[in-house]
Amino acid sequence: PRPIALKDYSEPDFWIDEVHLDVDLAPETAQVRSTLAVRPNASRPGKDSLRLDGEGLELLEVHLNGEKLGPNRYQEDESGLTIMEVPAGAFTLTTVSRCNPAANTALTGLYLAGGIFCTQCEAEGFRRITYMLDRPDVMAVYRTRITAEKALAPVLLANGNCVESGVLEDGRHFAEWHDPYPKPSYLFALVAGDLGCVRDAFTTASGREVDLRIYVEPGNEDRCAYAMDALKRAMAWDEKVFGREYDLDIFMIVAVSAFNMGAMENKGLNIFNDKYILARPDTATDLDFANIEAIVAHEYFHNWTGNRITCRDWFQLCLKEGLTVFRDQEFTADMRSRAVKRIADVRMLRTHQFPEDGGPLAHPVRPDAYIEINNFYTATVYEKGAELVRMIYTLLGAEKFRKGMDLYFTRHDGRAATVEDFLEALSDGSGVDLSQFKRWYHQAGTPEVMASGKWDGAQQEYVLQLSQVCPPTPGQPHKEPLHIPIEIGLLGEDGADLPLSPIGGTAAASGAHVISLTKREQTFRFKNVTAKPVPSLLRGFTAPVKLSSNLGEREWAFLMAHDSDPFNRWEAAQKYASMILTGNIAALSNGKIPRAGTGFAGIVRKILNDPGLEPEFVAQMIVLPAEQTLAQAIGQDVDVEAIHSAREAFRASLAEQLYAEFERAYNENETPGTYSPDAEAAGKRSLRNTCLGYMAATGRADAIALAKNQFDTADNMTDSMAALGVLAHTDCPEREEALRAFHDRWKDDHLVMDKWFALQATSPLPGTLSRVRELMAHPAFSLRNPNKVRALIGSFATANQLRFHESGGEGYRFVAEQVLALDKINPQVAARLLGAFKSWRQFEPVRQAHMRETLERIVSQAELSRDVYEIATKTLG
């Protein structure tokens, strides 16, 4: 397959202003009559043939300006339809075609799953429904008429407002929807089926009443309250923080159980993976509630950043995704704890984006070429994309950022825009030059910033030398210096912040002390520093970089105990723990005795005893770096067994030293009474369950009994899952009994069963791979359902470092087998699963050889999808 390149972008030869669809639905044949109002693009004159995208369609008829065309006037092939000799001016083109929703297992285009007809058009699914210029810069007004058997599909939905509906002969009925806002085809949606509905309303700041509806499988209506509440809070927040109001009279969400990703922001008709809508205290964990809040908000925020202003082409994906992730992160920070949210976001960035940026799949936030666009919905585009917007926010400050955003909205509303348009609006609106900053969008790789600080006692100055390098990435051997905002603080002997008096040109746009590193090497000086300070660098993680410094264990311990910046306090704890753990991993490999970490334990004790700290923050402070994080820190010749053993041993050692403290925190953080998903109660449960995990790490019988008791008596899924997690990951007699009890209670609940699958797939115990294989035969498992694949196979491949990387390579072969089977069913999900191999070069030689062999076997297969082919070949490099 040939890559598509950004540099080859050109406007379309024709515009399409109106799309009129008449969709007649039946499970195995959906007939679509589409009438397009077409006009030539004046800037590309003289084109006499019109090429439309279309895939997997059966073409029945073509009409031009109402006249049926003979087959000599058009040509069909596997990727579309060409109409020859089209008129020089505007014309209408009607096509009649068929597709088969029941046979659509790829879940893109129009598909039937679980009895619901549903569409997924981003990025290029519309062409599987009907012929179209299926590209985001072609924006049209859509009118959609749906007809179906009423008994089969009593609810008929599409974008916009319902303008007509009625009953037809033979038990059929119809509904016609009109969306007045021009939109690209990827935002089109249609849903039909037997659905229950939960309704509410929202009054906008300007006094318009919006009808809010959540559609779910009948019987799930009692699980929609939290999503509805999150939606209303998101609507109010976008008005207050970004001045953005909702623009239609109705906003609908539909929850379906077969969905390739989390959710989709179709105009006025969001479609969700039901995992991110349905929640009840007994079925959903605190994390599920938090995810629902964030994703409902994210999709809602797309109404402005993505829908009203869309992307000119798919290379600009970060324009809507990075910006919208930034917006949803800010929303969550305002709804919950800002410090905890920042820690969670950086954790996520480091776990998923940093390895991507440092491996064979590295690409810029705005990629410059792709084979399959579905492979570019990545952590780089989304999470690093959000970090770039956050850096702009840091550089501009809240007020100027808002001015820039306002200008962006007024300049580009109703249009398809580019990253350049966004940066220009932010720069013009704020008066801040972002020309160097733009490099972040086209330069891949995680920059490494080196810091070396020195106190000059004679001058009473603190001198900070910073330098930056960015390692080469595929296709980009040389890198230019980036504009990197770095927030800093200096701590005095008592741990308090010293007043900062920078000498020369440092910026402090956000009120904090932010310096701009713009050159390869730069020196910053601070005066009136009367004693040797400890620097706190990159506070709040103001830039997505890897920072190294001349700080040692003593300084990290000091910052862990005192830093006033909560993010850096957590960072110091992670650094300190990581230093001990990497030392212990090396000690284990060399037959030496690992350290017990009494100094670290001492600070953890103080933190556990500090009543001024919020419980969720305490939980974050005491969780050790994950096994994958340690693998990244080691970087090469990674030995997964040594990492696992060292980390478990250190956990057990901390637990032995602090058993009484963990027990006390466990008892003090009980949340009696009615369950509430709010951040405060969730934080207490989080700390309590973290303590339970530590206690169980000692293997003491009383800790296991405590976990068993919690499992038996829990009245909410968070506590039940936490206890089951402890038991399922411990070699104890209670393990199988608890797993069986959970299964028997929840076997008919598909979302809860996903938790049961994932828990077993992430067990570090030997025999996990055989268990995963066995579970594939469980009646609740299906390769056709992406949530099942992610829960069982995905969790094993990406969240069980120890067992996926079994030294004989059986984990790799198993996952590869599933990737190939899945590629025939759903290439998008298959390619994503293959992402588990992206860091293969960091492991020790035996595992590397097994992984290479596995990847080569995949590449050698005859009929690979574009999706899997691209990931497999690029991963091999």
The residues annotated with a catalytic role in the active site are: 299
**The only residue of 96, 152, 261, 463 in contact with ligand HT7, by rule CB under 6 A:** 261
Separation in Å, CA 414 to CA 114, 139, 183, 224, 325:
36, 9, 8, 32, 21
Structure-derived torsion over alpha carbons of residues 588, 593, 594, 598, reported in degrees to the nearest 10? 180
Distance separating alpha carbons of residues 580 and 583, to the nearest angstrom:
5
Least separation, in Å, of the C-beta of 778 and ligand HT7? 25
- Residue 122 makes contact with ligand HT7 by CB under 6 A: yes
Which of 877, 808, 864 lies closest to 837, judged by CA? 877
Our CB check for ligand HT7 shows the closer of 270 and 620 to be 270
Our CB check for ligand HT7 shows the closer of 4 and 463 to be 4
Least separation, in Å, of the C-beta of 302 and ligand HT7? 6
Our CB check for Zn ion shows the closer of 291 and 782 to be 291
DSSP state of 843: B
- Residue 378 makes contact with ligand HT7 by CB under 6 A: no
Least separation, in Å, of the C-beta of 55 and ligand HT7? 16
Of 323-331, 673-681, 696-704, 850-858, which segment contacts Zn ion by CB under 5 A? 323-331
- Residue 260 makes contact with ligand HT7 by CB under 6 A: yes
- Residue 299 makes contact with ligand HT7 by CB under 6 A: yes
- Residue 539 makes contact with ligand HT7 by CB under 6 A: no
- Residue 823 makes contact with ligand HT7 by CB under 6 A: no
Report residue 549 as tokens.
């410094």
Our CB check for Zn ion shows the closer of 296 and 679 to be 296
Report residue 779 as tokens.
């009646």
DSSP state of 699: T
Number of amino acids touching ligand HT7 (CB under 6 A): 13
Our CB check for ligand HT7 shows the closer of 321 and 330 to be 321
Our CB check for Zn ion shows the closer of 35 and 266 to be 266
- Residue 375 makes contact with ligand HT7 by CB under 6 A: no
Separation in Å, CA 522 to CA 465, 475, 516, 517:
6, 28, 10, 7
Cβ 597 vs Cβ 621: under 8 Å: no
Of 79-87, 190-198, 261-269, 801-809, which segment contacts ligand HT7 by CB under 6 A? 261-269
**692-721 residues near ligand HT7, rule: CB under 6 A:** none
Report residue 39 as tokens.
């006009």
Cβ 840 vs Cβ 849: under 8 Å: no
Three-state DSSP class for residue 570: helix
Report residue 22 as tokens.
């008449």
Cβ 397 vs Cβ 334: under 8 Å: no
Selection from ligand HT7, Zn ion, none that 122 binds (CB < 5 to 8 A by kind) is ligand HT7
Cβ 455 vs Cβ 533: under 8 Å: yes
Our CB check for ligand HT7 shows the closer of 377 and 756 to be 377
Distance separating alpha carbons of residues 265 and 297, to the nearest angstrom:
10
- Residue 265 makes contact with ligand HT7 by CB under 6 A: yes
Our CB check for Zn ion shows the closer of 324 and 574 to be 324
Selection from Zn ion, ligand HT7, none that 260 binds (CB < 5 to 8 A by kind) is ligand HT7
Distance separating alpha carbons of residues 463 and 790, to the nearest angstrom:
49
Selection from ligand HT7, Zn ion, none that 632 binds (CB < 5 to 8 A by kind) is none
Between helix 827-834 and helix 810-823 the angle, nearest 10°, is 160
Least separation, in Å, of the C-beta of 53 and ligand HT7? 16
Least separation, in Å, of the C-beta of 256 and ligand HT7? 10
Distance separating alpha carbons of residues 585 and 646, to the nearest angstrom:
6
Least separation, in Å, of the C-beta of 273 and Zn ion? 13
Of 85-93, 324-332, 548-556, 848-856, which segment contacts Zn ion by CB under 5 A? 324-332
- Residue 372 makes contact with ligand HT7 by CB under 6 A: no
The position carrying tokens 């992402």 is 835
Selection from Zn ion, ligand HT7, none that 120 binds (CB < 5 to 8 A by kind) is ligand HT7
**474-533 residues near ligand HT7, rule: CB under 6 A:** none
**The only residue of 192, 264, 292, 608 in contact with ligand HT7, by rule CB under 6 A:** 264
Cβ 731 vs Cβ 767: under 8 Å: no
Cα radius of gyration rounded to whole Å, the chain: 28
Distance separating alpha carbons of residues 327 and 235, to the nearest angstrom:
12
Please give the residue whose beta carbon sits closest to ligand HT7 in the complex. Answer: 261
Report residue 427 as tokens.
């720069």
- The dihedral region occupied by 118, where left means phi > 0, alpha psi between -120 and 50, and beta the remainder, is beta
The alpha carbon of residue 828 and the mean position of all alpha carbons in its chain are separated, in whole angstroms, by 15
Of 116-124, 422-430, 485-493, 568-576, which segment contacts ligand HT7 by CB under 6 A? 116-124
Of 130-138, 255-263, 442-450, 698-706, which segment contacts ligand HT7 by CB under 6 A? 255-263
What DSSP string describes 286-318? HHHHHHHHHHHHHHHHTTTBTTTBEESSGGGHH
Least separation, in Å, of the C-beta of 33 and Zn ion? 31
Our CB check for ligand HT7 shows the closer of 323 and 696 to be 323
789 Cβ contact partners less than 8 Å away, ≥ 6 residues apart: 783, 818, 822, 829, 833
**The only residue of 120, 337, 632, 875 in contact with ligand HT7, by rule CB under 6 A:** 120
Selection from ligand HT7, Zn ion, none that 198 binds (CB < 5 to 8 A by kind) is none
The position carrying tokens 């009925």 is 173
Three-state DSSP class for residue 197: strand
1 Cβ contact partners less than 8 Å away, ≥ 6 residues apart: 371, 372, 866, 869, 870
Selection from Zn ion, ligand HT7, none that 264 binds (CB < 5 to 8 A by kind) is ligand HT7
Pairing of strands 172-183, 67-68: unpaired
Least separation, in Å, of the C-beta of 120 and ligand HT7? 5
- One-letter amino acid at 458 equals A
- Residue 298 makes contact with ligand HT7 by CB under 6 A: yes
Least separation, in Å, of the C-beta of 272 and ligand HT7? 9
Selection from Zn ion, ligand HT7, none that 50 binds (CB < 5 to 8 A by kind) is none
Least separation, in Å, of the C-beta of 424 and Zn ion? 23
Distance separating alpha carbons of residues 305 and 329, to the nearest angstrom:
14
Our CB check for ligand HT7 shows the closer of 235 and 697 to be 235
What DSSP string describes 25-51? --SS-EEEEEEEEEEE-TTS-----EE
**The only residue of 321, 330, 356, 555 in contact with ligand HT7, by rule CB under 6 A:** 321
- Residue 836 makes contact with ligand HT7 by CB under 6 A: no
Instruction: Give residues in contact with ligand HT7 (CB under 6 A).
Output: 120, 122-123, 260-261, 263-265, 298-299, 302, 321, 377
Instruction: Give residues in contact with Zn ion (CB under 5 A).
Output: 321, 324
